[in-house]
Amino acid sequence: MVRKWCLRAIAAYFLFGVVMYVYLFFLADTSIPDMYKGTSVDPTTFLNAREMMLSEEYSKIRNLLFFLSSPYEWLFYYLVLIFGVSAAFERWAGQASKWFPLKTAIYLFWLSLASFVFTFPFSYISYVFSRTYNISTQLFPSWMKDELIDFWVSYATMFILVLVLYSLMKKFKKKWWLAAWVLSVPYSIFMMFIQPVVIDPLYNDFYPLKDKQLESKILLLANEADIPAEHVYEVDMSQKTNALNAYVTGVGSNSRIVLWDTTLERLDDEEVLFIMAHEMGHYVEKHIYFGIAGYTLLSFAGLWLTAKWMERWVAKRGTVWKVESITNISSLPVFLLTISILLFAVSPLTNWVSRYQEMRADRYAIEMTQDKDAAVRTFQNLTKAGLSQVNPPYLVKIFRYGHPTMLERIRMMEEFEGDRDEEL
């Protein structure tokens, strides 16, 4: 029976992979509508033939890896359950210690290690393709170091979450999910607060922007938008990637405006200012607060559904999995599997909200800078640096894109006719 269900799961995964491969490589239409050919939206106007070819190849590979990654994670959780591996990990942890926190730490270490080993080939393939297409500039030792940092950071944060979660399960048999939901919001805000000063510096060096003249221009924009920013930070990303990025991170006194050094090297001041105005648009329109509110609602529904599904699955399959109750820590893969499936299922909605907010930030940026040419050049340069598709397939857009497509963003810039002085 176990072997049969295992083979079915693996066959289903490979069948899904074949379907997505055929869709992405043969069926999906990524061409530009005829009405936009020859315009600034058309990639042939700002990419050469080789860049066009590489963009299509890399985007297809990257999109395929994206769609294969979540089901691969689900397959891992299912296999450790059906083969009784999770139960074995709990047994080993129980033999080492009866103290629940230490028992949890030992169990989670074995599960995290198994997950790391199982998913490592997938991560390595992604890294190799990124290097092959010159998106990543990171040497293997540096990449491996980041992977190990990821492992321990994830392990530390997961240990806290799992310890609290299963303590709540033992204390509140039926309403543990509600208690977990109440605690999840302050925990998420706390993580947002420490991210810029504790976690991010583990991966990269952050320092004040070296170009003080550009920093003055950025802070002038921030002052105009009533954003309490005193410094702009630069991060050394050129040793890892050729991609471009900038962002605002953190909350409260730990908020930071951050620019990748690749962005500073490859974009002119006007383009950088447009990007900064975009990030400021998120602050002005209070997108972080809407995000917290949305997370609060979705996590409430998600944890409730997870509790119901966990009880049903463990009651039905627990004997086969050697998991007696959801309060057993060996049920953790059931929890993680359920959460992962729910996150994937709801991603079209969360991505739609994100795309709307990003479009609003784009609108704010063009209204603030009044520099249409710089805005168009920025998106064209972002496309070139990331080898992105201007018009990605529909399924890729709804499941993967938290930003509008480049076709939508450049088109909006070209169609913008506002004049801030006239409006005033």
57-99 pLDDT, tens digit per residue, is 999 999 999 999 999 999 999 999 999 999 999 999 999 999 9
Asked if residue 232 is part of any domain, the answer here is: no
Nearest to 398 by CA among 333, 342, 359, 345: 345
Examine the pLDDT at 424 and tell me if it is beyond 80. no
Counting the structural domains of the chain, the total is: 1
Examine the pLDDT at 401 and tell me if it is beyond 70. yes
d(CA 103, CA 92): 9
Examine the pLDDT at 283 and tell me if it is beyond 90. no
Report yes or no: 382 and 406 within 8 Å, Cβ to Cβ.
yes
CA pseudo-torsion sign 317, 320, 325, 329: negative
Percent of the chain with pLDDT over 70: 96
256 pairs with which residues across the strands?
Answer: 249
The answer to whether 230 is a known catalytic residue is no
Asked if residue 246 is part of any domain, the answer here is: no
Nearest to 178 by CA among 74, 269, 299, 260: 299
**Among 67-71, 112-116, 136-140, 278-282, which is the least confidently predicted range?**
278-282
Cα 364–chain centre separation: 24
Q: What is the pLDDT of residue 173?
A: 85
Q: What is the pLDDT of residue 257?
A: 79
d(CA 255, CA 228): 9
Q: What is the pLDDT of residue 74?
A: 96
Residue pLDDT, tens place only, 259-271: 999 999 999 999 9
Confidence grade of residue 201 (pLDDT, cut at 50, 70, 90): confident
**3-state SS of the chain: helix, strand, coil percent to 5?**
75, 5, 20
Q: What is the pLDDT of residue 205?
A: 87
Asked if residue 230 is part of any domain, the answer here is: no
Type of residue at 209: L
Examine the pLDDT at 188 and tell me if it is beyond 90. no
136 pairs with which residues across the strands?
Answer: 241
Q: Beta 256-260 vs 232-235: how paired, if at all?
A: parallel
Asked if residue 26 is part of any domain, the answer here is: yes
Rounded mean pLDDT, 178-204: 86
Residue pLDDT, tens place only, 367-391: 999 999 999 999 999 999 999 999 9
Range of the domain at 66: 2-204+286-423
Rounded mean pLDDT, 161-165: 96
Catalytic member of 90, 234, 279, 408: 279
Q: What is the pLDDT of residue 254?
A: 66
Examine the pLDDT at 252 and tell me if it is beyond 50. yes
Q: What is the pLDDT of residue 229?
A: 67
Report yes or no: 102 and 338 within 8 Å, Cβ to Cβ.
no
Examine the pLDDT at 421 and tell me if it is beyond 60. no
Confidence grade of residue 191 (pLDDT, cut at 50, 70, 90): confident
Rounded mean pLDDT, 119-125: 95
The label of the residue with tokens 């990543």 reads: 136
Type of residue at 226: D
Q: What is the pLDDT of residue 291?
A: 87
Please tell me whether the overall predicted TM-score, pTM, comes out greater than 0.75 for this model: yes
Asked if residue 102 is part of any domain, the answer here is: yes
